[in-house]
Structure formats: structure tokens, C-alpha cells
């Protein structure tokens, strides 16, 4: 029974991955390499967002209210304790890919 549940979860995951555009897939990869260390479940930035907003808005990957321009501005300017990220750290194309990934649910 556990195998069937795990196999079913794999199908859902594969379908979700297939639904991502190439840019969104790149953004997911970059998010996992760059952002997840603070913005993952139960981590510092996620907990701060939960306190400032609420738990429904804490995980960036689950939000539906983010905008491309807002993400670009926060990444480049920083906010709160998040430092700005320079173009030598993340290119504009990288930021756009991350923004496309994080705003995929808003469309």
C-alpha cells in the first residue's frame, strides 16, 4: 500500500514538473540553489514572513499574490534582513526565472 501511495505521489510530482515552462523549471532550480536556505519550510525568512503576514503567505513557493516586478525589486534592493543580491550573484535572467517560478500560481 505504501508503494502505491509513493508511486502516486511521483506521478503528481512528475505532472507538476511537466506543467512548468522551461523558464519556470530553471527558476525552481535557482530557487533551490539560492533562496531555499532561508525561505524553505520552517526556516528563518519563512518564519519571519509568517509573523509579519500569516502562515498562508509564509512559503514563497505556495503564494499566489507575488508579482514579477515585486520579486525583482526585493531581490535587487533587499528587504528587512534580506540583503540585495548583485548581478554578479544572480543575473537578471536568473532573477526573472525565479520570479517566473514564484508567480506561476498567480496566473
Q: Are 66 and 98 in contact (CB under 8 A)?
A: no
12-46 pLDDT, tens digit per residue, is: 445 566 699 999 999 999 999 999 999 999 999 99
Is 11 a member of any domain?
Answer: no
Q: Are 96 and 54 in contact (CB under 8 A)?
A: no
Q: Which pLDDT does position 1 carry in this prediction?
A: 45
Nearest to 24 by CA among 92, 107, 103, 106: 103
Is 47 a member of any domain?
Answer: yes
Mean pLDDT of all residues in the chain? 88
Is 12 a member of any domain?
Answer: no
Q: Which pLDDT does position 28 carry in this prediction?
A: 98
Is 53 a member of any domain?
Answer: yes
CATH number of the domain to which 88 belongs: 1.10.760.10
The share of the chain scoring above pLDDT 90, in percent, equals: 79
Q: Which pLDDT does position 21 carry in this prediction?
A: 97
Nearest to 30 by CA among 86, 93, 77, 73: 93
Q: Phi/psi of residue 31, each to 5°?
A: -60, -45
Q: How far is 30 from 22, CA to CA, in rounded Å?
A: 12
Is 6 a member of any domain?
Answer: no
Other beta carbons less than 10 A from residue 98's beta carbon:
29
Q: Phi/psi of residue 82, each to 5°?
A: -80, 120
Q: Which pLDDT does position 106 carry in this prediction?
A: 82
Prediction pTM value: 0.81
Domain that includes residue 40, residue range: 22-106
Question: Average pLDDT in the 68-84 region?
Answer: 95
Is 15 a member of any domain?
Answer: no
Is 65 a member of any domain?
Answer: yes
Total domains, the chain: 1
Is 7 a member of any domain?
Answer: no
Amino acid at each position: 500500500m505504501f508503494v502505491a501511495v509513493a508511486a502516486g505521489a511521483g506521478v503528481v510530482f512528475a505532472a507538476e514538473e511537466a506543467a512548468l515552462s522551461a523558464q519556470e523549471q530553471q527558476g525552481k532550480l535557482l530557487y533551490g540553489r539560492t533562496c531555499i536556505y532561508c525561505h524553505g519550510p520552517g526556516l528563518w525568512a519563512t518564519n519571519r514572513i509568517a509573523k509579519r503576514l500569516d502562515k498562508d503567505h509564509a512559503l514563497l513557493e505556495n503564494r499566489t499574490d507575488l508579482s514579477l516586478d515585486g520579486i525583482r525589486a526585493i531581490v535587487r534592493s533587499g528587504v528587512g534582513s534580506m540583503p540585495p543580491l548583485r548581478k554578479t550573484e544572480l543575473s537578471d535572467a536568473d532573477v526573472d526565472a525565479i520570479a517566473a517560478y514564484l508567480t506561476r500560481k498567480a496566473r
